[in-house]
Amino acid sequence: MISETSPQAVVASVMRHPNSDTRATDPVVALRTLSDLFAAFELYKKYLADHILNHPIHHIDNRKKLCSQYGRLSDLEALIVLSLIWKESCFLSDDDLFCAGLPRKFPNGINRQALGKALLKSDRRPETRISEEMFARRAARIVEAAITYGLVENGEQDQNVKYLNPTSKLDNMLREIGSAAAALIHEPFGCTLGRLPCSANGAGE
């Protein structure tokens, strides 16, 4: 049964075979992992449908506009953008990021241009085929959709740069989705979910 895959099988699936330059692969682990990735994204889309779709705060009388904006939020790139905005915000402390092994890359705030660069980096195509400007526009459209549904707000402006702030609505959404995804992925392997005892002054202290 897929649900009975052991933690040892997970480790074995990514360890190099002693007589090979390639990684040993376990088809059951690969299948389970891909299934969990799809399921985690479905959690995001279900949350949008259940809690966000019917509660826009802008363009309320423009059904066509709302449909277009919601479609943008339903894309995987939108989840990337929203997660980055949340990660760099005051909703997550330095201790939170330290325990998660994720540095705060934009201590002064994140903006649309930075999000565009992040999308460009995640695209993985040769840079000769794509442009930073294209991804900046894509990030800006996602931000516009998030503002429409009350997930993001424009923050302080420094010269021509507008910084972005997540709302408590986005914070609640990503905490709930992240927790549900963690249970989905880790609990079948016998892992107990909980906060690791670490701090910015040293892990395990």
Long-range Cβ contact pairs of 99-106 (< 8 A, separation 24 or more):
99/195, 99/196, 99/198, 99/199, 99/203
- Say if domain 57-203 classifies as CATH 3.30.530: no
Place of tokens 């009388």: 61
pLDDT at position 54 is: 96
**Tokens encoding 187:** 């609990």
- Ranges of the chain with pLDDT below 70: 1-24, 127-128, 188-205
Helices (H), the chain: 7-14, 27-47, 63-73, 76-87, 94-100, 112-123, 132-148, 168-186
Interval 122-156: pLDDT, tens: 887 776 677 888 899 999 999 999 999 999 999 98
Domain boundaries, the chain: 57-203
pLDDT at position 93 is: 94
